Chain A
Amino acid sequence: MADRFAPGDRVRTRAADPDGHTRLPRYARGAIGTVVERAGAHPLADERARGGAPDAHAVHHVRFAAADLFGAGDHAVVVELWEDYLEEAP
């Protein structure tokens, strides 16, 4: 399965606050970042937490400016995120 995103792509994380378990941290929701590299493919934790055995989905390392996440800081924060959490940034 081809990845939807490649290194250098700008992406926006989902802003929705899901009902159950997720590995998209609250501080990184609705944020715009840049894909750094692919980080393998793994079953989506959100689905697995409901007892399923889903197929592997692509995972990416995504870099954010700390100020975009926390309102302060001049460093970058890299978060490992499933492709399901990402959409193209406008």
Chain B
Amino acid sequence: MSRINDVGGMTGFAAIVQEPDEPPFHADWEAHVLALNGALIRRGIYNLDEFRDAQERLPVPQYLAASYYERWFAAIRVLLVEKGVATAADLELPHG
């Protein structure tokens, strides 16, 4: 099953935007997502390949519309539910 992440060598996409002096993160929440993913992997909740697989299983329109760290966050949410760490309802709770 060819997945939407696997587009190397495929033509028809818009040009890649080159960002001079690109910062590691464009918003604080992106750094939190990076840290959260690392913590979950180190805790053994899931492994790196399960994380990659979860990104590849995102619905294609969602994958293509999402930024890099939005894909990460979506995959983390998928895995938290699949691994029984949280319910889908838990993830919708407002934070406060």
Query: Footprint of B on A, CB under 8 Å?
Result: 17-21, 25-27, 45-46, 48-51, 69-70
Q: How far is the CB of A38 from chain B (nearest CB, A)?
A: 21
Evaluate contact between A49 and B9: CB separation under 8 angstroms.
no
Contact of A17 among B2, B9, B49, B50 (CB under 8 A): B2
Complex-state Cα separation, A20 to B1, whole angstroms: 7
Q: How far is the CB of A4 from chain B (nearest CB, A)?
A: 23
- Interface status of B42 (Cβ within 8 A of chain A): no
Q: How many A-B residue pairs have CB under 8 A?
A: 40
Complex-state Cα separation, A64 to B53, whole angstroms: 26
Chain B 1-42 residues near chain A, CB threshold 8 A: 1-2, 6-10
With CB as the reference atom, state the residue of chain A lying closest to B11.
Answer: A70
Complex-state Cα separation, A25 to B1, whole angstroms: 12
Evaluate contact between A25 and B8: CB separation under 8 angstroms.
yes
Q: Is the interface of A mostly helix, strand, loop or mixed?
A: loop
Other than A26-B7, A69-B9, give 6 A-B pairs with Cβ distance below 8 A.
A18-B1, A21-B52, A21-B53, A25-B9, A27-B8, A50-B50
- Interface status of B70 (Cβ within 8 A of chain A): no
List, in ascending order, chain B residues with CB within 8 A of A45's CB: 49, 52
List, in ascending order, chain A residues with CB within 8 A of B56's CB: 21
Evaluate contact between A27 and B53: CB separation under 8 angstroms.
no
List, in ascending order, chain B residues with CB within 8 A of A51's CB: 46-47, 50
List, in ascending order, chain A residues with CB within 8 A of B47's CB: 48, 51
User: Could you name 6 residue pairs across A and B whose Cβ atoms are closer than 8 Å?
Assistant: A17-B2, A21-B56, A25-B6, A27-B10, A48-B49, A49-B52
